[in-house]
């Protein structure tokens, strides 16, 4: 069984995916890391800088197609992954999709705090970041909302989100 976590940058997909996988004996896969491996680059930022976003999106799609969904896997997808082409349809065909929903305010606050280099938000002032998150979330949320499971994550610690999702990995066929 494959579980795909989708949601905006900063909503905690990687932490939740890693924790859920560990707790459930599933393999953990990070889609961004898969893309980096394919591109033979160290980071997403490097791919954006050297190859551009369009190429990144093509590689991202290929990574989705080539994901080994053998056995039990929890995949943390990139925030934009479901939002390009028919990627969301594809994710829904391949496994159980889970949207980690978080408000624009909470996302902005977390993205401000967690200073991982994300090419789409690098160099934005706090005001610009807030506006950017709000606008992009409005665009993307209808796609995220198609996920089979939606979990509200505002103000909820990752370990609680993980325990709320645990039933999914127990339901084996």
Q: What is the DSSP letter of 130?
A: H
Residues contacting ligand S3P: total by CB under 6 A: 10
The residue range among 76-84, 95-103, 144-152, 159-167 that interacts with ligand S3P, by the rule CB under 6 A, is: 76-84
- The only residue of 27, 90, 120, 166 in contact with ligand S3P, by rule CB under 6 A: 120
Q: Is residue 129 part of the contact set for ligand S3P (CB under 6 A)?
A: no
Strand partners, 152: 101
Does residue number 12 form part of the binding site for ligand S3P (CB under 6 A)? no
Residue whose C-alpha is closest to residue 102's, from 27, 142, 155: 155
Q: Is 134 in the site for ligand S3P (CB under 6 A)?
A: no
Among 6, 32, 59, 153, interactor with ligand S3P by CB under 6 A: 32
Contact between 44 and ligand S3P by CB under 6 A: the answer reads: yes
Write phi, then psi, for 104 (nearest 5 degrees). -60, -40
Alpha helices, H only, 95-145: 104-113, 126-144
Q: What is the CA radius of gyration of the chain?
A: 15
Question: Of these, 6, 20, 75, 80, which contacts ligand S3P (CB under 6 A)?
Answer: 80
Counting contacts by CB under 6 A, is residue 58 touching ligand S3P? no
Residue with smaller CB distance to ligand S3P, 80 or 95: 80
The DSSP string of 32-79 is HHHHHHHHT-S-HHHHHHHH-HHHHHHHHHHHHHH----S-EEEEPPT
Q: Yes or no: say if 7 and 100 are a contact pair by the CB < 8 Å rule.
A: yes
Q: Binder to ligand S3P among 78, 102, 161, 169 (CB under 6 A)?
A: 78
Nearest residue (CB) to ligand S3P, 12 versus 95: 12
Contacts to ligand S3P by CB under 6 A: 9, 13, 32, 44, 78-80, 118-120
């Amino acid at each position: 069984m494959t579980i795909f976590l989708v949601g905006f940058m900063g909503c905690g997909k990687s932490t939740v995916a890693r924790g859920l996988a560990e707790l459930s004996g599933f393999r953990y896969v990070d889609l961004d890391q898969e893309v980096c491996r394919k591109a033979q680059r160290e980071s997403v930022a490097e791919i954006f800088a050297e190859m551009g976003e369009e190429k990144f999106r093509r590689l991202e799609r290929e990574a989705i197609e080539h994901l080994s969904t053998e056995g039990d896997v929890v995949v943390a997808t990139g925030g934009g992954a479901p939002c390009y082409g028919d990627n969301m349809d594809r994710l829904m065909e391949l496994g159980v999709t889970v949207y980690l929903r978080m408000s624009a305010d909470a996302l902005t606050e977390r993205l401000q705090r967690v200073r991982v280099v994300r090419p789409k938000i690098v160099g934005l002032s706090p005001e610009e970041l807030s506006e950017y998150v709000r606008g992009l979330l409005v665009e993307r949320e209808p796609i995220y909302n198609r996920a089979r499971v939606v979990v509200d994550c505002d103000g909820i610690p990752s370990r609680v989100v993980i325990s709320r999702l645990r039933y999914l990995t127990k339901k084996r066929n």
